[in-house]
Amino acid sequence: MELYPAVDLLGGAAVRLVQGDFDRRRDYGDPLALARSYARAGARWVHVVDLDAARTGEPVNRDLVLAIARTVDARVQAGGGVRTDRDAAELLDGGVARVVLGTAAQHEPSIVERLAEQYPGRVAVGLDHVGSRQEVAVTGWERTGGATLRQAVERIANVDVGAIVVTAIDRDGTLQGPDVDGLRAVLSWTAHAVIASGGVRSTADLRALADVTGSGRALAGAIVGTALAEGSLAVEEALAACAPSG
């Protein structure tokens, strides 16, 4: 299972939001410095999200995302506000290893098919869900898109995406532990690689994720944000905890 340290961008700064609430933010300084620290500690990927763009569609942090991709010694998976073919091309041609489509994937499913064909293995779909009905949220998590998590997963069953990134919004930024049961269900619904996000607080949580299986498969990765940014979990410890599932 691959570790994806998260760097969330808001107004040019590295931040973490609690449950996606823009009024509940924690600041962590220079995003480039944070991303570099993760790479120096051994992380092979960094997950970068432009929160401003996710909310408004305006890529105000695009240059910063590209700077991280060009200068940090790790592959960058980037999402937030990737709404058009042009957005994706600018990121992927500019050094980003993989883009994550969230709102666009729900509003215009054909964009996923086009980009997945043009950039094999380099397009992921972000499915961020909230509430007991697991409704998929869009537009910076400020609205729901009308589909449930299972419906959204099944909608892309025949599209050759590189991964599905599944975020439990209710747990994101809360350090309450990951949604293990929900992730096990997602693995049973899809043949795609699944990357988990939301709630990881400790090595025990990562070991639990590394042991999750569904339909005979394990999770492909885990995104960790707050615990790493605050230093309660070290990258080296997190990498070791991710190792059991390979």
List active site positions: 8, 128
d(CA 162, CA 190) in angstroms, rounded, equals 12
CA angle 245, 131, 226 (to 5 degrees): 50
Whether the CB-CB separation of 115 and 86 falls below 8 Å is answered with no
Is-contact 119 92, C-beta < 8 A? yes
DSSP one-letter string for 132-189:
TTTEEEETTTTEEEEEEHHHHHHHTTTS--SEEEEEEGGGTTTTS---HHHHHHHHHH
List the beta bridge partners of residue 69: none
**b/e per residue, 38-51, with b = 16+ CB within 10 A?**
bbebebebbbbbbb
Question: Token pair of 245, please?
Answer: 């599932």
In angstroms, what CA-CA distances link 231 with 5, 100, 227, 237? 12, 26, 6, 11
